[in-house]
Amino acid sequence: MTARLHGVRSRLLLWIAVKNAVHPFRRLITRYLKRRHEKFDRQAGVCTAGTVTVEALGLSARDSHRYDATPVGFFRSLLAKLAVDYENTVFVDLGSGKGRTLLLASHYPFRAIIGVEISRELCELASANLRTYDWQRRRCRDISVHCESIAEFEYGSYGRSDQLLLYLFNPCGEAVLRAGLEKIHRVVSRGATVTIVYVNPTCNEALQNADWLEPVRHGETFDETSNTFMPYIVLQSASAQWSGQQSTLPSNSAPGCLRAGGSAPCPIGPVLSPAAVGAADRLH
Ligand SMILES: C[S@@+](CC[C@H](N)C(=O)[O-])C[C@H]1O[C@@H](n2cnc3c(N)ncnc32)[C@H](O)[C@@H]1O
């Protein structure tokens, strides 16, 4: 017990030291991380970087948060920490935006990858990115983008023996999150195992109040847009079997969702008619 406390204290002190050491260099780090975002897009032949405000998306600021892409390094280290049973796991990005995580997740042998995004413009951009992406490292072929709200998305026939990894990068307000959680609870009741990763968890209370979820991990990642550290949490349904390895990820960049403003280097593109973007744009 004493050894464990000692370990926790050492890790805490190390983390505080790292944060203090990083502080004076935040602008430099931010610039470096921004360049890495752009490099990913350039090399992969896609357009996923840049902020898009809720106003530009025509969404309600109460229910939806702005678009920012998950940092590449953060996503990879997150998956490494989760020790995922890929072949039996379906990855779902709730609020998938321009599809950055769908592209990154395709490097792992997930059973399927699903993006759920309310903005039709962003769904269309994600679909375009899926079409043009350099697929050399592709290990999952079943990738789809669903243009609908987290509050409406149904987990179909998933149930007993299915594992779902649900990723949320602070996509929405509390009411939407609560409605989405009800849908998730339903699939858990059918016997599915669910792990939720919630980055920049501004509506954390909704998850904390769900007694069928257990927090299993938390950490922080560097937010390049606001030059601050940003938390994330991982929760699992009570029946979840996965094992984690560490409780804190290395600092990295991950833009937050609560700030207004910001630039959008990648154009959102024209608004398409509902018929142009199907409910599910499946890519095989
Ligand atoms: C911070 S971005 C995250 C983008 C992507 N998940 C990533 O990590 O790269 C949040 C996204 O959630 C989307 N969003 C907001 N409200 C939503 C809702 N009710 N249903 C689905 N998506 C929503 C936004 O349009 C935005 O694209």
Residue 83 has pLDDT above 60, yes or no: yes
pLDDT tens for each residue of 17-37: 776 766 667 777 777 777 777
Strands 143-146 and 163-169, sheet pairing: unpaired
Report how far ligand 1's centroid is from the alpha carbon of 172 (Å): 7
d(CA 56, CA 67): 10
Q: What pLDDT was estimated at residue 225?
A: 59
Ranges assigned E (strand) in the chain: 89-94, 112-116, 143-146, 163-169, 193-199, 213-223, 228-237, 280-283
The mean pLDDT value for 84-111 works out to 97
Give the model's pLDDT for residue 57. Answer: 97
- C-beta of residue 162 within 8 angstroms of C-beta of residue 91: no
Residue 203 structure tokens: 């509506």
Sort strands 228-237 and 112-116 into parallel, antiparallel or unpaired.
unpaired
**Residue 192 contacts by C-beta under 8 Å, 6 or more apart in sequence?**
155, 158, 159, 160, 161, 162, 163, 164, 237
Residues whose CB falls within 8 Å of the CB of residue 116, separated by 6 or more in sequence, listed in order: 92, 93, 94, 95, 96, 146, 148, 149, 150, 153
pTM for the model stands at: 0.80
Domains and CATH numbers, the chain: 26-283 (3.40.50.150)
Q: What is the mean pLDDT of residues 87-105?
A: 97
Give the residues across from 194 on adjacent strands: 164
pLDDT in tens, 132-163: 998 888 999 999 999 999 999 999 889 888 99
Predicted pLDDT at 16: 75
Determine the residue of 55, 60, 65, 202 to mutate for testing ligand 1's pocket, defined as the one with the most ligand atoms within 8 A of the Cβ atom.
Answer: 65
Nearest protein Cα to ligand 1, atom 18: 149
Q: Kindly state if the Cβ of 70 falls inside 6 Å of ligand 1.
A: yes
Residues ≥6 apart with Cβ < 8 Å to 5:
none
The yes-or-no verdict on residue 282 having pLDDT over 90 is: no
Q: For the packed helices 72-82 and 26-44, what is the interaxial angle rounded to 10 degrees?
A: 90
Q: Which of 184, 231, 181, 168 is nearest to 209 (CA)?
A: 181
CA distance 195 to 232: 13
Average pLDDT in the 223-234 region?
78
The pLDDT of residue 259 is above 60: no
* CA of residue 86 to ligand 1 center, whole Å: 23
What is the position in ligand 1's atom list of the atom closest to the CA of 257?
1
- What pLDDT band is residue 250 in, cutting at 50, 70 and 90? very low
Spacing, Cα 10 to ligand 1 middle (Å)? 36
Q: How far apart are CA 85 and CA 211, in angstroms?
A: 24
